[in-house]
Amino acid sequence: MIYDYDALQKDISKIAKKYPFIKIETIGRSSNHREIFALRLGTGEKEVFYNGTHHALEWITSKLLMRFVFDYCKAYIKGRRLKGYNVRKLFDTVSIYIVPMVNPDGIEIAKFNDKWQANARGVDLNHNYDALWKEGRDIAKTMGYGKPGATKYSGRCPESEPETRAVANFTRCKNFEYVIAFHSQGEVIYWKFGDTLPPNAEKIAEMLSNASGYALDETEGVASYSGYKDWFMDKFNRPGFTVEVGLGKNPLPIDQFDKIYNDILEMLVLAGV
């Protein structure tokens, strides 16, 4: 039941054939040369960005984002609404960019290792961004994560990994008003990075919380450093969010999928507000 790179490729192919109005591009390749896909929903000037599966065991986030792509496309074609929102209007006013699977190699390893969160080179991609990277690396070392392994190793330098470089370069080329990195688990939304508080961050955080029922929270310890949303907030002074979907132990059981999707769907279409 795992949603892996092969499953993603099949879904990308279906989208390309059935919904040619969706722009699909490759923004880079993983350590093992798998494509990192980005999809663009809509043509509007406002730009937002969602990504999933920085961490291998959290592959359910890729499946959730691709389910959203299919539902968005169907609603657009049929003139239907999603969670009460007019998708055709959304298409014209907002460009929603989605990188559903940041870490395709890690998922392949996680099929045989139930602790593996890193990429194929043993680097935790969500600790490989230039946002207090050295501080995070030093804390991780004291915890025993000073070399390549299943989790929390920060790499030899920020953006040392092709996956993080691809996502960071893609972000630099766009004008995202806000970004959401989807992870699992906890049913919480992390919305702060140190003392950085970009304009509208709290307002958007409250909207996301109200839409999903997820609580707003703050990270602690090593989780407070060098993540994607941390980097985005630090470098662009714009709102960034880490959304931890579902409850339990990673990988989350697939029988949670429908509930999680229903919980976060309004959050995904809120881009048009």
pLDDT at 47: 98
**How many domains are contained in the chain?**
1
Return d(Cα 28, Cα 169) in angstroms, integer.
9
CA distances from 213 to 55, 178, 245, 257 (A): 23, 20, 11, 16
Place of tokens 């919904």: 19
Q: How many CA atoms lie within 13 A of 229 on its CB side?
A: 33
Task: With H, G, I as helix, E, B as strand and everything else as coil, classify residue 193.
Answer: strand
Does 244 participate in catalysis according to the annotation?
Answer: yes
pLDDT at 222: 82
pLDDT at 1: 80
Supply the pTM of this predicted model.
0.97
Does 76 participate in catalysis according to the annotation?
Answer: no
The domain in which residue 194 lies consists of 5-272
Tokens of 59: 């592959």
CATH of the domain at 123: 3.40.630.10
pLDDT at 223: 85
242 CB contacts (<8 Å, ≥6 apart)? 180, 181, 183, 189, 190, 219, 227, 228, 229
pLDDT per position in the chain (273 positions), as tens? 899 999 999 999 999 999 999 999 999 999 999 999 999 999 999 999 999 999 999 999 999 999 999 999 999 999 999 999 999 999 999 999 999 999 999 999 999 999 999 999 999 999 999 999 999 999 999 999 999 999 999 999 999 999 999 999 999 999 999 999 999 999 999 999 998 899 999 999 999 999 999 999 998 888 888 999 999 999 999 999 999 999 999 999 999 999 999 999 999 999 877
Catalytic residue among 214, 244, 261, 266: 244
Helix then strand then coil, in percent of the chain rounded to 5, is 45, 20, 35
Catalytic residue among 97, 129, 145, 225: 225
pLDDT at 105: 98
pLDDT at 264: 98
pLDDT at 271: 87
